[in-house]
C-alpha cells in the first residue's frame, strides 16, 4: 500500500500543520552500471516537538532519507516540505548529527566547535555565538570542558558536544543518524536518557534514525517502520508510553517482538491483536 500515512488517527485528530512532510518520496542512486532504489514512495509527517524515529534494517534507506530531508539528495519522485516550503538544498533549519563523532575538528576546543557553525553561517557575531555555545554546553553538562580539546573527551562526551553544536543552531528539526551506534552499550543507554532529558527541557523536534527496536521504543514518541531494501513504509506506531524505565518490562518486550514481526513479515498477526494504542499498517 502506498497511500500516505498521515500519522494521525481518529482518536488523535490533526489540528496543526505538519512541520515536515515527506510525500511519496522515492530515492535512487545512479551509477553508470545501474540504478539502486534506496526508498520507494515513503510518506510521513512530523509535528513540532515530535521524537520521530525511522526504524528499519541496515540498507533500507534510512540514511538516504535523512540526507534527502537535509537537502543533500533530491528525490526522484515525490517531495519533502518543511513548513510548507519545498526542500531543495541544505539549510540551517535542518541540522544533522551523524554517527561518527570524529566530525569534531580536533584543533578547536569544545566551545570553539560549538561556536563554529554559528560563525560560519553568520548566524551570530562572536560574542553572541560564545554565549549561545556556553548555554547549550551547560544543557549537555559540559560547562567544565568548554576549553578542552576533543581528543581528551570520551565517546559519550563527544556525542554531547555534537548534540550541543547542533542545538545551538536552533534548527527547526534536528536530524540524528544512528548517533549512538558507535558507543558501548552502557554509554549508549546513558546518552538515550540524556537525550530524553534534554528534549524535556528544550522541546526540539527530532528525527532519529536507528536499526535498534529497543532504541526506537525508548527514544521515539512515533516510530515509522521501514521494510528491508528498498525501504517502504510498513507501519507507523505511537510509542510515547515507553522510556528507559520500560526496558525489560513485559509490555515493552511484547511491543519489541511485535515490531520485529512487522519489520520482517514473520507470522503477521491481525491488526486487532497488535496491542498498540495507535497503529497504521501499510500493507
Site string for ligand ADP, 219-248 (x = CB under 6 A): ----------x-------------------
Site string for ligand ADP, 60-99 (x = CB under 6 A): xxxxx-----------------------------------
Q: What does the radius of gyration of the chain's CA atoms come to, in whole angstroms?
A: 19
| Beta carbon of residue 236, minimum distance to ligand ADP (angstroms, whole number) | 17
Among 6, 9, 24, 59, binds ligand ADP (CB under 6 A): 59
Distance CA 39, CA 226 (A): 9
Considering beta carbons, is residue 34 or 122 the nearer one to ligand ADP?
A: 34
With CB under 5 to 8 Å by kind, the binding choice for 61 among ligand ADP, Mg ion, none is ligand ADP
Is 207:175 a contact under the CB 8 Å cutoff? yes
Number of residues lying near ligand ADP (CB under 6 A): 12
**CA 76 to each of CA 21, 25, 113: distance values in angstroms, whole numbers, following the listed order:** 16, 8, 35
User: Which three cell numbers mark 189?
Assistant: 543507554
Distance CA 39, CA 27 (A): 5
DSSP codes of every residue in 94-140 = EEEE-S-GGGS-TTS-HHHHHHHHHHHTTSS-HHHHHHHHHHHHHHT
Considering beta carbons, is residue 55 or 218 the nearer one to ligand ADP?
A: 55
Considering beta carbons, is residue 62 or 158 the nearer one to ligand ADP?
A: 62
Among the residue ranges 9-17, 61-69, 243-251, 258-266, the one whose residues contact Mg ion (CB under 5 A): 61-69
Could you give phi then psi for residue 170, rounded to 5 degrees? 45, 55
> Residue 63, interface with Mg ion (CB under 5 A)?
yes
> Residue 21, interface with Mg ion (CB under 5 A)?
no
| Beta carbon of residue 210, minimum distance to Mg ion (angstroms, whole number) | 9
Distance CA 99, CA 58 (A): 14
| Beta carbon of residue 153, minimum distance to ligand ADP (angstroms, whole number) | 26
Amino acid at each position: 500500500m502506498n497511500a500516505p500515512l498521515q500519522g494521525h488517527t481518529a482518536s488523535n485528530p490533526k489540528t496543526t500543520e505538519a512541520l515536515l512532510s515527506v510525500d511519496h518520496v522515492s530515492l535512487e542512486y545512479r551509477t553508470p552500471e545501474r540504478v539502486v532504489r534506496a526508498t520507494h514512495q515513503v510518506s510521513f509527517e512530523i509535528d513540532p516537538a515530535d521524537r520521530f524515529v525511522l526504524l528499519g534494517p541496515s540498507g533500507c534507506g534510512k540514511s538516504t532519507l535523512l540526507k534527502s530531508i537535509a537537502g543533500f539528495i533530491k528525490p526522484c519522485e515525490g517531495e519533502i516540505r518543511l513548513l510548507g516550503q519545498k526542500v531543495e538544498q541544505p539549510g540551517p533549519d535542518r541540522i544533522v548529527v551523524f554517527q561518527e563523532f570524529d566530525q569534531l575538528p580536533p584543533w578547536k576546543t569544545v566551545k570553539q566547535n560549538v561556536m563554529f557553525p554559528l560563525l560560519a553561517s553568520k548566524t551570530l557575531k562572536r560574542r553572541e555565538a560564545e554565549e549561545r555555545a556556553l548555554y547549550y554546553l551547560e544543557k549537555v553538562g559540559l560547562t567544565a570542558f568548554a576549553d578542552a580539546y576533543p581528543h581528551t573527551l570520551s565517546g559519550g562526551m563527544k556525542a554531547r558536544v555534537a548534540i550541543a553544536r547542533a542545538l545551538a543552531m536552533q534548527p527547526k528539526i534536528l536530524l540524528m543518524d544512528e548517533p549512538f551506534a558507535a558507543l558501548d552499550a552502557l554509554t549508549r543507554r546513558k546518552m538515550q536518557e540524556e537525550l530524553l532529558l534534554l528534549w524535556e527541557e528544550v522541546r526540539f523536534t527530532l528525527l532519529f534514525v536507528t536499526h535498534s527496536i529497543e532504541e526506537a521504543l525508548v527514544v521515539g514518541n512515533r516510530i515509522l517502520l521501514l521494510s528491508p531494501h528498498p525501504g517502504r513504509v510498513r507501519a507507523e506506531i505511537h510509542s510515547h508510553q515507553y522510556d528507559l524505565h520500560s526496558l525489560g518490562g513485559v509490555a515493552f518486550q511484547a511491543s519489541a517482538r511485535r515490531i520485529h514481526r512487522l519489520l520482517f513479515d514473520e507470522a503477521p498477526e491481525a491488526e486487532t491483536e497488535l496491542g498498540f494504542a495507535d497503529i497504521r499498517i501499510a500493507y
